Structure 1
Amino acid sequence: MSPAAALYLKIGGALAVLFIIAAVLYGAYHHGEAVANARWQLKWADQQTLQAKGLAAATTGNRTEEQRRQTAVNQVGNDARQQQAVATADAVSADAAGDRVRGQAGKLAASASCTTGDPGATQRSETATRAAMVLSDLFQRADKRAGELAKAYDAAQLAGAACERTYSVVSAATKR
């Protein structure tokens, strides 16, 4: 074997050894990188799981709170409708009483005429009757308008109270 061939064999063997060392180092690096990536993947999956559980818990809590608020608001609405029904029934009975009073006032005004034999008294009686009729009509209009205003006031008061209760129910939960 010639010295050049022996030199090539030594150089080739050294290169083969270097190549094997480089391959082993690359394999070790690649294995370390794969292990580190697997650890990060595991940590990432754990983090995602924790976040998903937290999101599910928050969503459930928010839905529960929303349902509680809606139930409370529905209850306030039901209470307001019941109060409105009571107020309407009261208004109907007040209207009936007002109709009776207006009827009595009309009868009283109609019976204000007194017939006498004195023509002056008859004239005064007719004037008094007309005045009584005008006053009776004025009283009827005022009483009717007062009833309408009372109904409107009751409705507005009930709506305002229901709104306040609804706000209290919703805002109390927000302050928690």
Structure 2
Amino acid sequence: MTYLYLYLGIGLLVGIGFSINGARAYAKAPPITEVVAQALDPDWQPPKRRWLPLILISSLIWPVLLLLLLVIRRLESDEPIPEFAVTAEHLLESLTVAEIEARERVFDPLGAVPDLPFGHLNTAWKDFLAECEEGSEFRRFAADWDSGWCRERREGYVEMVDGQPGRFFMTVCKTLPEE
């Protein structure tokens, strides 16, 4: 029950904050419909704002409102969302397909994971190999990547095309702790 009171209390604070922010925005620039109505009828008064329903509703759905606020701010930023690509500085050792499959064979004594290279991801690995050129060179890669939301450690294998990294098969993608 304490958690419910805490949840609703935080929600009330968030709702009050959104209401104050909305009132400030309204005071700075009223909607164009109200400006036109006032110009047409000098005796016109704007309707009273009822903030209590907004506060009560936001006290229940405040996590959604905060997430929506974060997403909107992210979309409004001018920074493009970075796309991961393997570069020459990420490359490590050169390996054959047989060496990769031997290295990535999953050993599970309980038998929950198939005894295949990459375990449950074996089908994805086979699809990756099917799209690669015959006799391609493969290199292992490791990179610390800043995706804009968080820092990640990405590892896997990349097909080399004309000496440059091409398509890759990612085996590790984990969030790094903040510094």
Q: TM-score, normalised to structure 1's length? A: 0.26
Higher helix share: 1
Q: Higher relative CO (CA 8 A, sep ≥ 6), structure 1 or 2?
A: 1
Tell which structure's C-alpha radius of gyration is larger. 1
Which protein has the bigger strand share? 2
